[in-house]
């Protein structure tokens, strides 16, 4: 009974954070700001859904290994997706003058020509 309630609560949390992520996408104005809402809200959203799934698996006597794997791959891929989107945005639309200096000898990698062979 208490476990059922816990799993139900996790599912509600999951849906709520998914909704907030989508709402953020709608509300925020600049493209870089929009990147924040979905990348973050979905981590807890999907995480809570995974916990609920793992909890159900344990209740019916299965081991929640696959949920653990989904979580691992989520943590590995979410930062990469965000980085690729940010880099594509920097490359296409952002003026170099709008960015701070690196403070090192060379410029940001996205604004440096590739090394010659």
- Contacts to another protein by CB under 8 A: 17, 20, 23-24, 27-30, 32-33, 35-37, 39-41, 43-44, 65-66, 68-69, 72, 75, 78-80, 82-83, 86-87, 89-90, 98-110, 112
Q: Output 12 or 33, the one with its CB closest to another protein.
A: 33
What is the nearest approach in angstroms of another protein to the Cβ of residue 1? 26
* Cα distance between residue 81 and residue 100, in whole Å: 23
What angle, 0 to 180 degrees and rounded to 10, lies between the N-to-C axes of helices 2-27 and 31-59? 170
Q: Output 1 or 92, the one with its CB closest to another protein.
A: 92
Q: Output 1 or 80, the one with its CB closest to another protein.
A: 80
* Cα distance between residue 12 and residue 103, in whole Å: 45
What is the nearest approach in angstroms of another protein to the Cβ of residue 77? 10
Helix (H, G, I), strand (E, B) or coil at 5: helix
Question: Largest Cα–Cα distance of the chain, in whole Å?
Answer: 66
What is the nearest approach in angstroms of another protein to the Cβ of residue 37? 5
Helix (H, G, I), strand (E, B) or coil at 69: helix
């Amino acid at each position: 009974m208490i476990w059922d309630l816990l799993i139900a609560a996790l599912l509600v949390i999951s849906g709520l954070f998914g909704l907030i992520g989508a709402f953020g996408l709608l509300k925020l104005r600049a493209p870089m700001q929009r990147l924040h809402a979905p990348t973050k809200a979905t981590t807890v959203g999907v995480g809570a859904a995974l916990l609920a799934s793992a909890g159900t698996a344990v209740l019916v006597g299965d081991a929640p290994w696959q949920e653990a794997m989904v979580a691992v791959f989520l943590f590995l891929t979410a930062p990469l997706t965000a980085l690729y989107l940010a880099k594509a945005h920097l490359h296409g639309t952002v003026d170099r003058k709008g960015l701070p200096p690196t403070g090192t000898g060379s410029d940001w990698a996205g604004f440096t020509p590739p090394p010659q062979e």
